[in-house]
Amino acid sequence: MSEKIVAVVGSGYMGGGIAQVLALSGATVKIADISAEIAQSNYDRLIEESKQFVADGLFPAGATETLQANLSPAASIEEAVADADFIEEAVPEKIEIKHATLARISKAARPDAIIGSNTSTILIGKLAEAVEHPERFLGVHFSNPAPFIPGVELIPHAGTDEAILPTVESIVQATGKQTAR
């Protein structure tokens, strides 16, 4: 999957874990958060965490170096998503925060970029209301802890273009995870 450029918006434990598995699959991944400082701090945590995961046998040897090569913090959401093929939103489960974030993402992203939300409690159709070109939007729900739970739900809404589903399945399956629609 090395040709894919991915952004993960929301770099806490959920988004950070998602960013790790995507970067380990070979994607170039940028993480963004409410500030460049938080994105940098979470990047540093993810690198340190990966060292322990390697020591514990949870990540393969060389995983930290792969993350250092493929994962980077962005100065802003807009910078992170500008060139991304796929964007995963993983901000807190509050519709106001998700709507504001998805509006920023969809305004700054390429019109053909696919946008996924890691929501587990908010209807995808309600979140799609905040997205420009909502046909490129769907739920892509990883479970916590993202590096270790093998399944990922793909949740289209009524307006999702079905043609994007194989691309999203390919991105997720490159991480070694199984998708379920």
141 is catalytic: yes
How would DSSP label each residue in 49-92? Answer: HHHHHHHTTSS-TTHHHHHHHHEEE-SSHHHHHTT-SEEEE---
> What whole-number distance in Å separates Cα of residue 174 and Cα of residue 158?
26
- Integer Cα distance of 80 and 105 in angstroms: 9
For 161, the enclosing helix (H) or strand (E) is none
Catalytic residue (choose from 99, 133, 141, 157)? 141
Q: Please give the radius of gyration of the chain, using alpha carbons only, rounded to the nearest integer.
A: 15
d(CA 153, CA 155): 6
| 6 close to 22: Cβ distance less than 8 angstroms | yes
Strand ranges (E), the chain: 5-9, 28-32, 71-73, 86-89, 114-117, 137-142, 151-156, 178-180
Q: How many CB atoms lie within 10 A of CB 52?
A: 11
Active site residues: 141
